[in-house]
Structure 1
Amino acid sequence: MIVVFGSINVDLVTAVDRLPGPGETVKGPDYQTFPGGKGANQALAARRAGAEVAMVGAVGRDGFADTALALLKADGVDLSGVSVVDAPTGIAMIAVDRRAENQIIVASGANSRADAATLGRRLGAGDILLLQFEVPEGEVLRAAEIAKSRGARVILNAAPAGPVDPSLIALLDGLVVNEHEAAEVGAAAGLPTEPTAFAAAFADATGGFCVVTLGAEGAYATVGSAAYRIPAAAATVVDTTAAGDAFVGSFAAALGRGLELRDAVIEGVSAGSLAVETTGAQPSLPRRATIAERADKLRRSLGEA
Protein backbone atom coordinates (compact mmCIF):
# COMPACT_ATOMS: atom_id res chain seq x y z
CA MET A 1 0.00 0.00 0.00
CA ILE A 2 1.12 3.54 -0.80
CA VAL A 3 -0.32 6.24 1.45
CA VAL A 4 -0.04 9.81 0.21
CA PHE A 5 -0.30 12.63 2.73
CA GLY A 6 -0.53 15.82 0.75
CA SER A 7 -2.40 18.49 -1.15
CA ILE A 8 -5.65 18.23 -3.08
CA ASN A 9 -6.41 21.07 -5.50
CA VAL A 10 -8.34 22.15 -8.53
CA ASP A 11 -6.10 23.41 -11.35
CA LEU A 12 -7.25 26.36 -13.47
CA VAL A 13 -5.13 26.15 -16.64
CA THR A 14 -4.81 28.68 -19.45
CA ALA A 15 -2.61 28.61 -22.55
CA VAL A 16 -0.61 31.77 -23.26
CA ASP A 17 1.81 32.76 -25.97
CA ARG A 18 4.44 33.57 -23.34
CA LEU A 19 4.62 33.68 -19.55
CA PRO A 20 4.17 37.12 -17.95
CA GLY A 21 6.96 39.08 -16.31
CA PRO A 22 6.58 41.05 -13.04
CA GLY A 23 3.66 43.46 -13.24
CA GLU A 24 2.68 42.24 -16.70
CA THR A 25 -0.68 40.92 -17.92
CA VAL A 26 -0.90 38.43 -20.77
CA LYS A 27 -4.09 37.07 -22.31
CA GLY A 28 -5.16 33.49 -22.84
CA PRO A 29 -8.09 32.44 -25.03
CA ASP A 30 -9.90 30.46 -22.32
CA TYR A 31 -9.18 28.16 -19.39
CA GLN A 32 -9.71 24.55 -18.41
CA THR A 33 -10.45 23.06 -15.00
CA PHE A 34 -8.67 19.90 -13.85
CA PRO A 35 -8.22 18.05 -10.55
CA GLY A 36 -4.71 18.59 -9.19
CA GLY A 37 -2.47 19.17 -6.18
CA LYS A 38 0.90 17.48 -5.80
CA GLY A 39 -0.40 14.98 -3.26
CA ALA A 40 -3.47 14.04 -5.30
CA ASN A 41 -1.46 13.92 -8.53
CA GLN A 42 1.10 11.55 -7.03
CA ALA A 43 -1.63 9.39 -5.51
CA LEU A 44 -3.35 9.04 -8.87
CA ALA A 45 -0.04 8.45 -10.64
CA ALA A 46 0.80 5.62 -8.25
CA ARG A 47 -2.70 4.15 -8.59
CA ARG A 48 -2.58 4.22 -12.38
CA ALA A 49 0.86 2.63 -12.20
CA GLY A 50 -0.76 -0.34 -10.46
CA ALA A 51 -0.42 0.33 -6.72
CA GLU A 52 -3.06 0.18 -4.02
CA VAL A 53 -3.24 3.79 -2.82
CA ALA A 54 -4.85 5.77 0.01
CA MET A 55 -5.05 9.57 -0.10
CA VAL A 56 -4.94 11.58 3.13
CA GLY A 57 -5.59 15.33 3.02
CA ALA A 58 -8.36 17.92 3.15
CA VAL A 59 -10.91 19.62 0.89
CA GLY A 60 -13.46 22.35 1.54
CA ARG A 61 -17.24 22.40 1.68
CA ASP A 62 -17.56 23.89 -1.80
CA GLY A 63 -18.21 23.02 -5.41
CA PHE A 64 -14.52 22.51 -6.16
CA ALA A 65 -14.26 19.57 -3.73
CA ASP A 66 -16.07 17.11 -6.02
CA THR A 67 -13.96 18.24 -8.98
CA ALA A 68 -10.76 17.85 -6.98
CA LEU A 69 -11.59 14.26 -5.99
CA ALA A 70 -13.30 13.07 -9.17
CA LEU A 71 -10.46 11.19 -10.86
CA LEU A 72 -9.08 9.78 -7.61
CA LYS A 73 -12.53 8.34 -6.94
CA ALA A 74 -12.95 7.05 -10.48
CA ASP A 75 -9.61 5.21 -10.34
CA GLY A 76 -10.26 3.57 -6.98
CA VAL A 77 -8.01 5.54 -4.66
CA ASP A 78 -9.09 5.11 -1.02
CA LEU A 79 -10.47 8.52 0.00
CA SER A 80 -11.58 7.64 3.53
CA GLY A 81 -8.68 9.71 4.90
CA VAL A 82 -9.76 12.91 3.13
CA SER A 83 -11.25 15.38 5.62
CA VAL A 84 -13.86 18.02 4.77
CA VAL A 85 -12.98 21.28 6.55
CA ASP A 86 -14.23 24.85 6.88
CA ALA A 87 -11.86 26.34 4.30
CA PRO A 88 -12.05 26.57 0.50
CA THR A 89 -10.68 23.69 -1.54
CA GLY A 90 -7.16 24.52 -2.69
CA ILE A 91 -6.59 25.83 -6.19
CA ALA A 92 -3.63 26.25 -8.51
CA MET A 93 -3.61 28.86 -11.26
CA ILE A 94 -1.41 27.62 -14.09
CA ALA A 95 -0.25 29.35 -17.26
CA VAL A 96 1.35 27.20 -19.99
CA ASP A 97 3.25 28.86 -22.83
CA ARG A 98 3.84 27.72 -26.41
CA ARG A 99 7.11 26.01 -25.38
CA ALA A 100 5.14 23.97 -22.77
CA GLU A 101 6.82 25.81 -19.89
CA ASN A 102 4.53 26.72 -17.00
CA GLN A 103 4.05 29.25 -14.22
CA ILE A 104 2.00 28.24 -11.17
CA ILE A 105 0.41 30.06 -8.24
CA VAL A 106 -1.08 27.86 -5.49
CA ALA A 107 -3.73 29.02 -3.00
CA SER A 108 -3.55 26.44 -0.22
CA GLY A 109 -7.05 26.76 1.23
CA ALA A 110 -8.11 23.50 2.88
CA ASN A 111 -4.64 22.05 2.41
CA SER A 112 -3.45 24.26 5.27
CA ARG A 113 -5.79 22.22 7.53
CA ALA A 114 -4.39 18.81 6.57
CA ASP A 115 -3.84 16.79 9.75
CA ALA A 116 -1.35 13.93 10.05
CA ALA A 117 -3.54 12.35 12.74
CA THR A 118 -5.95 11.45 9.92
CA LEU A 119 -3.43 8.80 8.86
CA GLY A 120 -5.03 6.66 11.57
CA ARG A 121 -4.00 3.03 11.21
CA ARG A 122 -3.57 3.11 7.45
CA LEU A 123 0.19 2.49 7.59
CA GLY A 124 1.94 -0.75 8.42
CA ALA A 125 5.23 -2.56 7.89
CA GLY A 126 6.18 -2.62 4.22
CA ASP A 127 3.90 0.27 3.25
CA ILE A 128 5.21 3.50 1.72
CA LEU A 129 4.30 6.98 2.94
CA LEU A 130 4.72 9.56 0.19
CA LEU A 131 5.11 13.20 1.26
CA GLN A 132 5.45 16.66 -0.33
CA PHE A 133 5.41 20.27 0.95
CA GLU A 134 2.01 21.64 -0.16
CA VAL A 135 0.61 20.92 3.32
CA PRO A 136 1.99 22.30 6.64
CA GLU A 137 5.55 21.14 7.20
CA GLY A 138 4.89 20.40 10.86
CA GLU A 139 2.22 17.92 9.80
CA VAL A 140 4.59 16.41 7.23
CA LEU A 141 7.05 15.73 10.06
CA ARG A 142 4.30 14.24 12.24
CA ALA A 143 3.21 12.00 9.36
CA ALA A 144 6.77 10.73 8.92
CA GLU A 145 7.03 10.03 12.65
CA ILE A 146 3.80 8.03 12.55
CA ALA A 147 4.98 6.06 9.52
CA LYS A 148 8.34 5.14 11.03
CA SER A 149 6.68 4.08 14.28
CA ARG A 150 4.68 1.56 12.27
CA GLY A 151 7.51 0.20 10.16
CA ALA A 152 6.58 1.97 6.93
CA ARG A 153 9.05 3.50 4.49
CA VAL A 154 9.03 7.29 4.06
CA ILE A 155 9.73 9.03 0.75
CA LEU A 156 9.78 12.82 0.48
CA ASN A 157 9.37 14.82 -2.70
CA ALA A 158 10.74 18.13 -1.40
CA ALA A 159 8.45 20.31 -3.48
CA PRO A 160 7.82 23.19 -3.52
CA ALA A 161 11.52 23.82 -2.96
CA GLY A 162 12.89 24.84 0.40
CA PRO A 163 14.99 23.71 3.35
CA VAL A 164 14.14 20.34 4.91
CA ASP A 165 14.00 20.06 8.70
CA PRO A 166 16.89 17.86 9.90
CA SER A 167 14.39 15.98 12.08
CA LEU A 168 12.48 15.04 8.91
CA ILE A 169 15.64 14.13 7.01
CA ALA A 170 16.50 11.66 9.79
CA LEU A 171 13.21 9.82 9.16
CA LEU A 172 13.53 9.48 5.39
CA ASP A 173 14.19 6.30 3.45
CA GLY A 174 14.52 8.32 0.27
CA LEU A 175 14.34 11.80 -1.27
CA VAL A 176 13.17 12.83 -4.75
CA VAL A 177 13.91 16.36 -5.97
CA ASN A 178 14.43 18.23 -9.21
CA GLU A 179 17.56 20.28 -9.90
CA HIS A 180 16.21 23.48 -8.32
CA GLU A 181 14.97 21.63 -5.24
CA ALA A 182 18.31 19.84 -4.89
CA ALA A 183 20.09 23.20 -4.81
CA GLU A 184 17.69 24.59 -2.18
CA VAL A 185 17.88 21.51 0.06
CA GLY A 186 21.63 21.24 -0.38
CA ALA A 187 22.32 24.88 0.45
CA ALA A 188 20.23 24.71 3.62
CA ALA A 189 21.81 21.43 4.75
CA GLY A 190 25.40 22.43 4.02
CA LEU A 191 25.65 19.92 1.17
CA PRO A 192 26.70 20.42 -2.46
CA THR A 193 24.14 22.12 -4.68
CA GLU A 194 25.18 20.57 -8.01
CA PRO A 195 22.64 17.77 -8.67
CA THR A 196 24.86 14.70 -8.84
CA ALA A 197 27.14 15.84 -6.02
CA PHE A 198 24.09 16.63 -3.90
CA ALA A 199 22.54 13.21 -4.52
CA ALA A 200 25.73 11.42 -3.56
CA ALA A 201 26.25 13.54 -0.43
CA PHE A 202 22.63 13.23 0.70
CA ALA A 203 22.56 9.47 0.23
CA ASP A 204 25.88 9.12 2.04
CA ALA A 205 24.71 11.28 4.94
CA THR A 206 21.36 9.55 5.41
CA GLY A 207 21.94 5.97 4.28
CA GLY A 208 18.86 6.19 2.06
CA PHE A 209 18.45 6.81 -1.65
CA CYS A 210 18.36 10.14 -3.44
CA VAL A 211 16.91 10.78 -6.89
CA VAL A 212 17.35 14.07 -8.78
CA THR A 213 15.13 14.50 -11.81
CA LEU A 214 16.81 16.44 -14.60
CA GLY A 215 13.94 17.32 -16.95
CA ALA A 216 14.87 16.61 -20.55
CA GLU A 217 18.11 15.01 -19.31
CA GLY A 218 16.34 12.21 -17.40
CA ALA A 219 17.28 11.45 -13.79
CA TYR A 220 20.24 10.66 -11.55
CA ALA A 221 19.90 8.29 -8.61
CA THR A 222 22.22 7.01 -5.93
CA VAL A 223 22.05 4.64 -2.99
CA GLY A 224 25.03 3.35 -1.05
CA SER A 225 27.97 3.06 -3.45
CA ALA A 226 25.75 2.66 -6.53
CA ALA A 227 24.84 5.53 -8.85
CA TYR A 228 22.69 5.55 -11.98
CA ARG A 229 22.05 8.12 -14.70
CA ILE A 230 18.93 7.34 -16.70
CA PRO A 231 18.32 9.39 -19.86
CA ALA A 232 14.92 10.83 -20.65
CA ALA A 233 12.56 8.81 -22.81
CA ALA A 234 11.67 10.44 -26.13
CA ALA A 235 8.48 12.50 -25.93
CA THR A 236 6.46 15.11 -27.80
CA VAL A 237 6.13 17.87 -25.21
CA VAL A 238 2.76 19.60 -24.82
CA ASP A 239 2.49 20.43 -21.08
CA THR A 240 5.14 19.75 -18.42
CA THR A 241 2.88 20.48 -15.42
CA ALA A 242 2.53 16.89 -14.18
CA ALA A 243 5.88 15.44 -15.27
CA GLY A 244 7.40 15.48 -11.79
CA ASP A 245 4.31 14.05 -10.11
CA ALA A 246 4.02 11.33 -12.74
CA PHE A 247 7.64 10.41 -12.03
CA VAL A 248 7.22 10.34 -8.26
CA GLY A 249 3.97 8.34 -8.20
CA SER A 250 5.11 5.76 -10.73
CA PHE A 251 8.52 5.50 -9.07
CA ALA A 252 6.89 4.85 -5.69
CA ALA A 253 4.57 2.26 -7.22
CA ALA A 254 7.56 0.47 -8.73
CA LEU A 255 9.38 0.42 -5.39
CA GLY A 256 6.19 -0.89 -3.80
CA ARG A 257 6.22 -3.80 -6.28
CA GLY A 258 9.75 -4.63 -5.15
CA LEU A 259 11.75 -3.19 -8.04
CA GLU A 260 15.31 -2.08 -7.38
CA LEU A 261 16.14 1.63 -7.43
CA ARG A 262 17.43 1.75 -11.01
CA ASP A 263 14.41 -0.03 -12.48
CA ALA A 264 12.06 2.14 -10.44
CA VAL A 265 13.77 5.24 -11.86
CA ILE A 266 13.32 3.90 -15.39
CA GLU A 267 9.60 3.48 -14.69
CA GLY A 268 9.42 7.01 -13.28
CA VAL A 269 11.25 8.56 -16.22
CA SER A 270 8.96 6.70 -18.62
CA ALA A 271 5.83 7.91 -16.82
CA GLY A 272 7.10 11.49 -16.80
CA SER A 273 7.76 11.39 -20.53
CA LEU A 274 4.22 10.19 -21.16
CA ALA A 275 2.67 12.85 -18.92
CA VAL A 276 4.16 15.76 -20.88
CA GLU A 277 2.35 14.65 -24.03
CA THR A 278 -1.14 15.60 -22.72
CA THR A 279 -2.61 18.83 -21.31
CA GLY A 280 -3.72 18.88 -17.67
CA ALA A 281 -2.09 17.35 -14.63
CA GLN A 282 -4.25 14.37 -13.71
CA PRO A 283 -5.65 13.64 -17.20
CA SER A 284 -2.06 13.25 -18.41
CA LEU A 285 -1.03 10.62 -15.85
CA PRO A 286 -0.33 7.32 -17.65
CA ARG A 287 -1.41 3.78 -16.79
CA ARG A 288 0.78 0.80 -15.98
CA ALA A 289 0.63 -0.94 -19.37
CA THR A 290 1.63 2.26 -21.20
CA ILE A 291 4.41 2.96 -18.72
CA ALA A 292 5.73 -0.59 -19.11
CA GLU A 293 5.74 -0.25 -22.89
CA ARG A 294 7.75 2.97 -22.81
CA ALA A 295 10.06 1.61 -20.08
CA ASP A 296 10.82 -1.43 -22.25
CA LYS A 297 11.60 0.89 -25.15
CA LEU A 298 13.90 2.94 -22.92
CA ARG A 299 15.67 -0.19 -21.70
CA ARG A 300 16.25 -1.29 -25.31
CA SER A 301 17.73 2.12 -26.09
CA LEU A 302 20.14 1.50 -23.22
CA GLY A 303 21.18 -1.79 -24.76
CA GLU A 304 19.19 -3.96 -22.36
CA ALA A 305 16.98 -6.89 -23.26
Structure 2
Amino acid sequence: MIVVFGSVNIDLISKVERFPHPGETITGADHVVAAGGKGANQALAARRMGAEVAFVGAAGTDNFADLALAHLHADGVHLDHVATADGVTGTAFITVDANGENQIVLSPGANAQVKAAALDEIVTAAGDSLLVQGEVSMGETEKALAWAKGRGMTGIFNLAPARPVSTKLLSLVDILIVNEEELRQVAERSGLHGGASDVVEKLASDLGLGVVVTLGAQGALAHVDGQMARCPGFPVDPVDTTGAGDAFVGAFAAALDAGLRLEIAIRQGCAAGALACLKQGAQPSLPRRDDVEALLEERRQV
Protein backbone atom coordinates (compact mmCIF):
# COMPACT_ATOMS: atom_id res chain seq x y z
CA MET A 1 0.00 0.00 0.00
CA ILE A 2 1.03 3.60 -0.64
CA VAL A 3 0.07 6.27 1.88
CA VAL A 4 0.16 9.74 0.33
CA PHE A 5 0.49 12.69 2.71
CA GLY A 6 0.03 15.97 0.90
CA SER A 7 -1.97 18.65 -0.82
CA VAL A 8 -5.29 18.76 -2.63
CA ASN A 9 -6.17 21.75 -4.80
CA ILE A 10 -8.54 23.12 -7.35
CA ASP A 11 -6.69 24.24 -10.48
CA LEU A 12 -7.92 27.27 -12.44
CA ILE A 13 -6.27 26.90 -15.85
CA SER A 14 -6.11 29.37 -18.74
CA LYS A 15 -4.28 28.88 -22.04
CA VAL A 16 -2.30 31.83 -23.45
CA GLU A 17 -0.14 32.35 -26.51
CA ARG A 18 2.70 33.51 -24.28
CA PHE A 19 3.26 34.41 -20.65
CA PRO A 20 2.76 38.12 -19.77
CA HIS A 21 5.64 40.39 -18.88
CA PRO A 22 5.61 42.10 -15.45
CA GLY A 23 2.84 44.71 -15.39
CA GLU A 24 1.32 43.42 -18.66
CA THR A 25 -2.24 42.15 -19.15
CA ILE A 26 -2.93 39.66 -21.93
CA THR A 27 -6.06 37.80 -22.96
CA GLY A 28 -6.23 34.03 -22.56
CA ALA A 29 -8.80 31.36 -23.35
CA ASP A 30 -11.76 30.71 -21.06
CA HIS A 31 -10.45 29.10 -17.90
CA VAL A 32 -10.93 25.44 -17.01
CA VAL A 33 -11.61 24.26 -13.45
CA ALA A 34 -9.94 20.93 -12.60
CA ALA A 35 -8.89 18.95 -9.54
CA GLY A 36 -5.19 19.09 -8.65
CA GLY A 37 -2.62 19.39 -5.86
CA LYS A 38 0.60 17.38 -5.92
CA GLY A 39 -0.46 15.04 -3.15
CA ALA A 40 -3.85 14.29 -4.68
CA ASN A 41 -2.40 14.04 -8.19
CA GLN A 42 0.23 11.51 -7.13
CA ALA A 43 -2.30 9.51 -5.13
CA LEU A 44 -4.54 9.28 -8.18
CA ALA A 45 -1.63 8.49 -10.51
CA ALA A 46 -0.52 5.60 -8.30
CA ARG A 47 -4.07 4.32 -7.95
CA ARG A 48 -4.62 4.38 -11.72
CA MET A 49 -1.52 2.21 -12.03
CA GLY A 50 -3.15 -0.38 -9.78
CA ALA A 51 -1.71 0.42 -6.33
CA GLU A 52 -3.79 0.46 -3.16
CA VAL A 53 -3.62 4.07 -2.02
CA ALA A 54 -4.70 5.98 1.09
CA PHE A 55 -4.63 9.78 0.95
CA VAL A 56 -4.12 12.04 3.98
CA GLY A 57 -4.78 15.74 3.42
CA ALA A 58 -7.33 18.50 3.99
CA ALA A 59 -10.03 20.20 1.93
CA GLY A 60 -11.93 23.36 2.80
CA THR A 61 -15.58 24.10 3.55
CA ASP A 62 -16.14 25.90 0.23
CA ASN A 63 -17.91 24.67 -2.90
CA PHE A 64 -14.64 23.44 -4.40
CA ALA A 65 -14.01 20.71 -1.80
CA ASP A 66 -16.15 17.96 -3.36
CA LEU A 67 -14.84 18.70 -6.85
CA ALA A 68 -11.23 18.57 -5.60
CA LEU A 69 -11.75 15.03 -4.29
CA ALA A 70 -14.08 13.70 -6.99
CA HIS A 71 -11.49 11.83 -9.11
CA LEU A 72 -9.87 10.28 -6.04
CA HIS A 73 -13.25 9.06 -4.84
CA ALA A 74 -14.25 7.72 -8.26
CA ASP A 75 -11.00 5.76 -8.68
CA GLY A 76 -11.08 4.15 -5.25
CA VAL A 77 -8.43 6.08 -3.31
CA HIS A 78 -9.08 5.70 0.43
CA LEU A 79 -10.22 9.12 1.69
CA ASP A 80 -11.18 8.32 5.29
CA HIS A 81 -8.29 10.44 6.57
CA VAL A 82 -8.96 13.64 4.61
CA ALA A 83 -9.81 16.40 7.08
CA THR A 84 -12.30 19.21 6.56
CA ALA A 85 -10.60 22.51 7.46
CA ASP A 86 -12.38 25.81 7.99
CA GLY A 87 -11.86 28.09 4.99
CA VAL A 88 -11.07 27.57 1.35
CA THR A 89 -9.72 24.55 -0.47
CA GLY A 90 -6.19 25.02 -1.82
CA THR A 91 -6.17 26.69 -5.23
CA ALA A 92 -3.61 26.83 -8.05
CA PHE A 93 -3.78 29.54 -10.71
CA ILE A 94 -2.18 28.08 -13.85
CA THR A 95 -1.38 29.59 -17.23
CA VAL A 96 -0.31 27.32 -20.10
CA ASP A 97 1.46 28.76 -23.14
CA ALA A 98 1.34 27.67 -26.79
CA ASN A 99 4.25 25.25 -26.19
CA GLY A 100 2.44 23.48 -23.36
CA GLU A 101 4.69 24.97 -20.66
CA ASN A 102 3.07 26.31 -17.50
CA GLN A 103 3.40 28.93 -14.78
CA ILE A 104 1.66 28.35 -11.43
CA VAL A 105 0.71 30.51 -8.45
CA LEU A 106 -0.38 28.44 -5.45
CA SER A 107 -2.77 29.53 -2.68
CA PRO A 108 -2.43 26.89 0.09
CA GLY A 109 -5.86 27.24 1.75
CA ALA A 110 -6.71 24.09 3.71
CA ASN A 111 -3.34 22.53 2.85
CA ALA A 112 -1.78 24.70 5.55
CA GLN A 113 -3.76 22.69 8.11
CA VAL A 114 -2.68 19.16 7.10
CA LYS A 115 -1.42 17.33 10.21
CA ALA A 116 0.78 14.24 10.45
CA ALA A 117 -1.20 13.08 13.50
CA ALA A 118 -3.90 11.86 11.09
CA LEU A 119 -1.50 9.11 9.97
CA ASP A 120 -1.76 7.36 13.34
CA GLU A 121 -5.20 6.05 12.36
CA ILE A 122 -3.88 4.14 9.33
CA VAL A 123 -2.98 0.45 9.54
CA THR A 124 0.21 -0.28 7.57
CA ALA A 125 2.73 -3.08 7.13
CA ALA A 126 6.50 -3.11 6.78
CA GLY A 127 7.29 -2.63 3.12
CA ASP A 128 4.46 -0.18 2.49
CA SER A 129 5.40 3.28 1.22
CA LEU A 130 4.80 6.86 2.34
CA LEU A 131 4.83 9.45 -0.44
CA VAL A 132 5.21 13.15 0.45
CA GLN A 133 5.79 16.41 -1.47
CA GLY A 134 6.55 20.07 -0.76
CA GLU A 135 3.08 21.66 -0.76
CA VAL A 136 2.22 21.19 2.92
CA SER A 137 4.12 22.18 6.08
CA MET A 138 7.69 20.88 6.11
CA GLY A 139 7.40 20.40 9.86
CA GLU A 140 4.39 18.11 9.42
CA THR A 141 6.09 16.40 6.48
CA GLU A 142 9.09 15.64 8.67
CA LYS A 143 6.78 14.15 11.31
CA ALA A 144 5.11 12.06 8.60
CA LEU A 145 8.45 10.68 7.41
CA ALA A 146 9.44 9.86 11.00
CA TRP A 147 6.11 8.03 11.38
CA ALA A 148 6.89 5.97 8.28
CA LYS A 149 10.46 5.24 9.34
CA GLY A 150 9.21 3.90 12.67
CA ARG A 151 6.94 1.46 10.84
CA GLY A 152 9.53 0.10 8.42
CA MET A 153 7.95 1.86 5.45
CA THR A 154 9.76 3.29 2.44
CA GLY A 155 9.77 7.10 2.58
CA ILE A 156 9.57 8.74 -0.86
CA PHE A 157 9.96 12.54 -0.97
CA ASN A 158 9.15 14.48 -4.13
CA LEU A 159 10.83 17.82 -3.36
CA ALA A 160 8.39 19.85 -5.42
CA PRO A 161 8.13 22.74 -5.39
CA ALA A 162 11.79 23.10 -4.41
CA ARG A 163 12.52 24.58 -0.99
CA PRO A 164 15.28 24.31 1.60
CA VAL A 165 14.90 21.21 3.77
CA SER A 166 16.66 20.18 6.95
CA THR A 167 19.35 17.53 7.21
CA LYS A 168 17.10 15.78 9.73
CA LEU A 169 14.25 15.55 7.24
CA LEU A 170 16.51 14.15 4.53
CA SER A 171 17.82 11.55 6.97
CA LEU A 172 14.29 10.13 7.12
CA VAL A 173 13.96 9.84 3.32
CA ASP A 174 14.69 6.64 1.40
CA ILE A 175 14.13 7.98 -2.13
CA LEU A 176 14.31 11.65 -3.19
CA ILE A 177 12.61 12.60 -6.48
CA VAL A 178 13.33 15.96 -8.14
CA ASN A 179 13.20 17.60 -11.55
CA GLU A 180 16.17 19.32 -13.19
CA GLU A 181 15.63 22.69 -11.50
CA GLU A 182 15.00 21.11 -8.12
CA LEU A 183 18.15 19.00 -8.57
CA ARG A 184 20.14 22.14 -9.40
CA GLN A 185 18.95 23.83 -6.22
CA VAL A 186 19.70 20.80 -4.04
CA ALA A 187 23.12 20.42 -5.67
CA GLU A 188 23.94 24.12 -5.14
CA ARG A 189 23.11 23.89 -1.45
CA SER A 190 25.29 20.76 -1.23
CA GLY A 191 28.20 22.38 -3.14
CA LEU A 192 27.98 19.90 -6.02
CA HIS A 193 28.66 20.61 -9.69
CA GLY A 194 28.60 18.67 -12.93
CA GLY A 195 26.13 16.85 -15.16
CA ALA A 196 22.89 15.38 -13.87
CA SER A 197 24.24 11.83 -13.76
CA ASP A 198 27.31 12.79 -11.72
CA VAL A 199 25.29 14.98 -9.35
CA VAL A 200 22.66 12.28 -8.80
CA GLU A 201 25.31 9.66 -7.99
CA LYS A 202 27.17 12.03 -5.66
CA LEU A 203 23.97 13.14 -3.89
CA ALA A 204 22.91 9.54 -3.40
CA SER A 205 26.30 8.75 -1.89
CA ASP A 206 26.57 11.87 0.28
CA LEU A 207 23.00 11.76 1.60
CA GLY A 208 22.75 7.98 1.89
CA LEU A 209 19.48 7.75 -0.03
CA GLY A 210 18.14 6.98 -3.48
CA VAL A 211 17.89 9.90 -5.92
CA VAL A 212 15.67 10.12 -9.00
CA VAL A 213 15.67 13.11 -11.37
CA THR A 214 13.12 13.71 -14.13
CA LEU A 215 14.55 15.38 -17.24
CA GLY A 216 11.44 16.45 -19.13
CA ALA A 217 11.47 15.23 -22.72
CA GLN A 218 14.85 13.60 -22.04
CA GLY A 219 13.33 11.06 -19.65
CA ALA A 220 14.73 10.36 -16.19
CA LEU A 221 17.64 8.79 -14.36
CA ALA A 222 17.96 7.19 -10.95
CA HIS A 223 20.54 5.98 -8.45
CA VAL A 224 18.88 3.76 -5.85
CA ASP A 225 20.53 1.15 -3.61
CA GLY A 226 23.73 1.34 -5.64
CA GLN A 227 21.92 0.74 -8.94
CA MET A 228 21.81 3.22 -11.82
CA ALA A 229 18.91 3.28 -14.26
CA ARG A 230 17.97 5.63 -17.08
CA CYS A 231 14.96 6.02 -19.37
CA PRO A 232 15.48 8.14 -22.53
CA GLY A 233 11.94 9.51 -22.57
CA PHE A 234 8.94 9.13 -24.87
CA PRO A 235 8.56 11.80 -27.59
CA VAL A 236 5.14 13.50 -27.57
CA ASP A 237 3.66 16.79 -28.78
CA PRO A 238 2.62 18.31 -25.43
CA VAL A 239 -0.76 19.94 -24.96
CA ASP A 240 -0.19 20.78 -21.27
CA THR A 241 2.71 19.65 -19.08
CA THR A 242 0.76 20.29 -15.86
CA GLY A 243 0.71 17.05 -13.86
CA ALA A 244 3.40 15.27 -15.89
CA GLY A 245 5.80 15.19 -12.96
CA ASP A 246 3.08 13.92 -10.65
CA ALA A 247 2.18 11.21 -13.16
CA PHE A 248 5.83 10.08 -13.14
CA VAL A 249 6.06 10.05 -9.34
CA GLY A 250 2.79 8.16 -8.83
CA ALA A 251 3.55 5.56 -11.50
CA PHE A 252 7.14 5.13 -10.26
CA ALA A 253 5.97 4.67 -6.66
CA ALA A 254 3.30 2.19 -7.77
CA ALA A 255 5.91 0.12 -9.61
CA LEU A 256 8.17 -0.02 -6.57
CA ASP A 257 5.18 -0.89 -4.37
CA ALA A 258 4.45 -3.80 -6.72
CA GLY A 259 8.03 -5.05 -6.31
CA LEU A 260 9.17 -4.20 -9.85
CA ARG A 261 12.84 -3.57 -10.64
CA LEU A 262 14.21 -0.01 -10.70
CA GLU A 263 14.69 0.05 -14.47
CA ILE A 264 11.07 -1.00 -15.00
CA ALA A 265 9.80 1.52 -12.44
CA ILE A 266 11.60 4.40 -14.12
CA ARG A 267 10.28 3.43 -17.55
CA GLN A 268 6.76 3.16 -16.18
CA GLY A 269 7.14 6.61 -14.66
CA CYS A 270 8.44 8.13 -17.90
CA ALA A 271 5.63 6.61 -19.95
CA ALA A 272 3.01 7.94 -17.53
CA GLY A 273 4.60 11.39 -17.55
CA ALA A 274 4.62 11.52 -21.34
CA LEU A 275 0.97 10.47 -21.61
CA ALA A 276 -0.03 13.10 -19.03
CA CYS A 277 1.18 15.82 -21.43
CA LEU A 278 -1.47 14.93 -24.01
CA LYS A 279 -4.49 16.38 -22.17
CA GLN A 280 -5.20 19.64 -20.38
CA GLY A 281 -5.27 19.71 -16.59
CA ALA A 282 -3.53 17.65 -13.94
CA GLN A 283 -5.89 14.89 -12.78
CA PRO A 284 -7.90 14.63 -16.02
CA SER A 285 -4.65 13.88 -17.85
CA LEU A 286 -3.31 11.15 -15.55
CA PRO A 287 -3.13 7.89 -17.52
CA ARG A 288 -4.38 4.45 -16.55
CA ARG A 289 -2.28 1.29 -16.43
CA ASP A 290 -3.56 -0.06 -19.76
CA ASP A 291 -2.50 3.15 -21.54
CA VAL A 292 0.95 3.08 -19.95
CA GLU A 293 1.43 -0.59 -20.81
CA ALA A 294 0.34 0.08 -24.39
CA LEU A 295 2.92 2.83 -24.77
CA LEU A 296 5.65 0.66 -23.27
CA GLU A 297 4.75 -2.18 -25.64
CA GLU A 298 4.74 0.24 -28.59
CA ARG A 299 8.23 1.42 -27.63
CA ARG A 300 9.46 -2.20 -27.41
CA GLN A 301 8.28 -2.74 -31.01
CA VAL A 302 10.37 0.16 -32.34
1:12 aligns with 2:16: no
CA contact (8 A) 1:186 1:193 kept: no
CA distance in 1, matches of 2:215, 2:289: 22
> 1:33-77: per-residue Cα shift (whole Å, max 9, x none)?
000000000000000011000110111111010110010001010
CA distance in 1, matches of 2:150, 2:226: 28
| Structure 2 residue aligned with 1:189 | 190
> 1:187-240: per-residue Cα shift (whole Å, max 9, x none)?
223333642222101211233321110001111111244322211112221000
> 1:74-106: per-residue Cα shift (whole Å, max 9, x none)?
101000110001121000000011110111000
- Please show how residues 236-255 of structure 1 align to structure 2 within 5 Å: 236-255=237-256
CA distance in 2, matches of 1:227, 1:164: 25
- Please show how residues 253-264 of structure 1 align to structure 2 within 5 Å: 253-264=254-265
| Structure 2 residue aligned with 1:127 | 128
| Structure 1 residue aligned with 2:163 | 162
Residue segments in structure 1 that go unaligned for 5+ positions in a row: none
CA distance in 2, matches of 1:291, 1:21: 38
CA distance in 2, matches of 1:94, 1:184: 23
Figure out how many residues of one structure are paired with residues of the other and give that number: 301
| Structure 2 residue aligned with 1:141 | 142
| Structure 1 residue aligned with 2:65 | 65
CA distance in 2, matches of 1:192, 1:57: 36
- Please show how residues 218-297 of structure 1 align to structure 2 within 5 Å: 218-297=219-298
| Structure 1 residue aligned with 2:87 | 87
SS at match of 1:120: helix
Task: Kindly provide the amino acid, as one letter, of the partner of residue 80 in structure 1.
Answer: D
| Structure 2 residue aligned with 1:29 | 29
Counterparts in 2 of 1:72 and 1:224: CA distance versus 1, 3 Å: closer
CA contact (8 A) 1:187 1:193 kept: no
CA distance in 2, matches of 1:193, 1:238: 32
Please give the root-mean-square deviation of Cα atoms over the aligned residues, in Å.
1.3
CA distance in 1, matches of 2:221, 2:267: 10
> 1:143-183: per-residue Cα shift (whole Å, max 9, x none)?
00001011111000000012221111111110110000001
CA distance in 1, matches of 2:85, 2:164: 28
CA distance in 1, matches of 2:128, 2:227: 24
| Structure 2 residue aligned with 1:53 | 53
1:171 aligns with 2:172: yes
Residue segments in structure 2 that go unaligned for 5+ positions in a row: none
